[in-house]
Amino acid sequence: MTAVLALLEFAPGTGATTGFRLVDPAQPHLTVTDLAATRGDGIFETARVVDGRVQALEAHLERLAQSARMLELPAPTLPLWRDAINAVAVALAAAGVADGSIKFVLTRGIEGGQVPTGWVLGLPSPDFTRERAEGIRIVLLDRGYRHDVAHTSPWLLAGAKTLSYAVNRAVLREAARRGADDALFVSSDGYLLEGAVSSLLLRVGSRLVTPRVDIGILAGTTQADVFNWAELQGFTTGYELLTPGDLATADAAWLVSSVRHAAPVRAVDGVERPIDAELTARINAALDGRID
């Protein structure tokens, strides 16, 4: 598989980003005592790349900086990260990958050291044509935290995009065991949160709503772009506390994310529900067409 890799360089002591270099992705680059490997102690972002252009790059960089603040990691020097990410995107296009994804990672570095580790990896994107057209079956799974967890227990890092994604993978296995494609987390006090790697969107008439982002979930870059587009199309939009009842009665529902874009929800806990194929196609055309 085609891959393009850049390693970030950091100043010992301050941990400030100082530059980057493109390296051979087939060679080993990560030390086994890196805290990414031993503790999942780091942060990441994944963005979509179309023809060498990274979609929503500024929003992803802002969220990387926000996650770094939450984990008390050295602040990433965004101009250098932007250059590294763009260099990988351009190299990916030059290698013939028109539709790709870019993952950028910042870790606390090697155990006992004071220097972070960072890299940017570009890969071809998987094909999501079927999920986008036919929709996905989801199950609601209790996350075990109340919706106010970000306020009561900030050390749980709810709402930071950390490398500790074993739980986000486990819920997909649980969803598969229940005959579904994806999962939607629900707070222990009964509010809809987010997918394993996606945000929830509902359409109620000419209004699009998504869960409030102060309830321990990621502020989705894709959801934000859908809202910006939808407002231009005459929809109203809102961030709300939503319940499974709201999902059941909504006219349409989607899980949206940077690489898959909008996947319509066609069943919840085994109960079929209608999908809005026409609006799904319009949303995905708008998301595919983003040039920044």
In angstroms, the CA 64 to CA 84 distance is: 14
Judged by beta carbon, residue 48 or residue 108, the one nearer ligand PLP is: 48
Site string for ligand PLP, 120-159 (x = CB under 6 A): ----------------------------------------
Torsion of CA 36, 40, 41, 46, to 10 degrees: 80
In angstroms, the CA 276 to CA 9 distance is: 46
Judged by beta carbon, residue 110 or residue 268, the one nearer ligand PLP is: 268
The interface region with ligand PLP, picked from 15-23, 117-125, 208-216, 254-262 by CB under 6 A, is 254-262
Residues 13-72 that bind ligand PLP (CB under 6 A): 46
3-state SS record for 170-220: HHHHHHHHCCCCEEEEECCCCCEEEECCCEEEEEECCEEEEECCCCCCCCC
C-alpha distances out from residue 128 to 79, 98, 100, 200, Å: 31, 15, 12, 17
> Is residue 284 a contact residue for ligand PLP (CB under 6 A)?
no
Judged by beta carbon, residue 15 or residue 41, the one nearer ligand PLP is: 41
Site string for ligand PLP, 161-200 (x = CB under 6 A): ---------------------------------x--xxx-
User: In terms of Cα–Cα distance, which of 214, 200, 239, 258 is closest to 60?
Assistant: 258
Q: How far is the CB of 165 from ligand PLP (least distance, A)?
A: 7
Q: How far is the CB of 10 from ligand PLP (least distance, A)?
A: 25
The interface region with ligand PLP, picked from 107-115, 128-136, 253-261, 262-270 by CB under 6 A, is 253-261
Q: How far is the CB of 227 from ligand PLP (least distance, A)?
A: 11
- Rule CB under 6 A: choose which of 187, 222, 280, 284 binds ligand PLP: 222
- The secondary element (H helix, E strand) that includes residue 62 is helix 57-70
Q: How far is the CB of 249 from ligand PLP (least distance, A)?
A: 23
Number of residues that bind ligand PLP (CB under 6 A): 13
Judged by beta carbon, residue 15 or residue 211, the one nearer ligand PLP is: 211
Q: How far is the CB of 222 from ligand PLP (least distance, A)?
A: 3
In angstroms, the CA 286 to CA 284 distance is: 5
Residue 35 DSSP code: H
Structure-block tokens of residue 159: 């709402």
Place of tokens 């939503």: 242
Please, what is the Cα angle at 259 between 254 and 264, to 5 degrees? 15
Q: How far is the CB of 123 from ligand PLP (least distance, A)?
A: 15
The interface region with ligand PLP, picked from 6-14, 67-75, 105-113, 220-228 by CB under 6 A, is 220-228
Structure-block tokens of residue 156: 């749980």
Q: Is 216 in contact with 193 (CB distance < 8 Å)?
A: yes
Q: How far is the CB of 113 from ligand PLP (least distance, A)?
A: 28
- Other CB atoms within 10 A of residue 196 CB: 21
> Is residue 218 a contact residue for ligand PLP (CB under 6 A)?
yes
Q: Interface with ligand PLP by CB under 6 A: which residues? A: 46, 194, 197-199, 218, 220-223, 256-258
